[in-house]
Amino acid sequence: MRIPAERPPTEMAEVTPEGDEQACADGVGRAILLDFDHTLFDTDRFFWVDLKSAFARFGVPDDAWEKSYEATWPSGYSLTKHLAELNRLGAMSEPATTRTMLAALDTAFSDLRPYLFPDVLEFLNTARRQGFDLILLSFGDPAWQSYKVRASGLAPYFQKIVYTATQEGKAELLDDLGQRYRELHAIDNNPADLDAMKARCPRLRTHLICRVEPSATLEANGGSRDRFREAARYLSVPSRLPHHRCTSLAEVPLSCPE
């Protein structure tokens, strides 16, 4: 786990993986826009279960963890910001403890491939074989999101990767992408993001994916609650526009080229 260095605040960062061509710009291509957290990557298991447990082993109480996270998230989460907030709260007052923790996290979370949902790689490979360009649109701190994407091994699958620190950032990209592609899909777990994108590009084929296991919504104890802590919040977000609902990428229909 190479802790990403802090960057000056930016609203959006765009990355084109080396060796991949830019998406076609002639309006005849096909593309899939994919969200990262809770869509491709099991963020709750990584963050609220395993990373939180790693902090607890260094004596960080659950209430301090949650309070510091809630203070950090609105500006785009990063581990550096989270640690700074814990220091401000007095939950990690010893610099030596912080350094030891970072070294331990670097070892424990250098490979994030186990946090990919089981259907991800097969879906991405199938889409590429069928001629789709793959575009990753991810909300959050660009440095932190980039670390997760690289450590999960997904970067080479995408023709374009865009990190945005603004909630409206995904929809704004549709002005350009809607003109560049004949067929355009979007897969996301956030109904509000899909609503905004579809309102910007009405012909966009939207797929609302829910990775939350049904039994998890009935269990209220701490461990079960944390297992789908963030993903479950989107179950209460209303959807203004119709979207194809699914629980797996295997349920997303990819039409053959006409």
Rounded Cα–Cα distance for residues 195 and 212 (Å): 20
List, edge to edge, every strand of the sheet that includes 133-139.
12-15, 160-164, 133-139, 29-34, 181-188, 205-209, 244-246
In which region does residue 47 sit, left (phi positive, over 0), alpha (psi from -120 to 50) or beta (all else)?
alpha
Which tens digits make up the pLDDT trace of 217-232? 555 555 567 889 899 9
Which phi and psi angles does 183 have, rounded to 5°? -125, 130
- Residue 168 reports pLDDT greater than 90: no
Please state the pTM of the whole predicted model. Answer: 0.85
Which tens digits make up the pLDDT trace of 80-108? 888 889 988 888 767 777 788 878 888 88
- CB-based contact 233:207 (threshold 8 Å): no
> Residue 178 corresponds to which tokens in the numbers above?
């809607």
Which class would CATH give 12-42+113-251?
A: alpha beta
% of the chain exceeding 90 in pLDDT? 51
Distance of CA 95 to the CA centre of its chain: 30
% of the chain exceeding 70 in pLDDT? 84
Stretch 237-250: mean pLDDT, rounded? 96
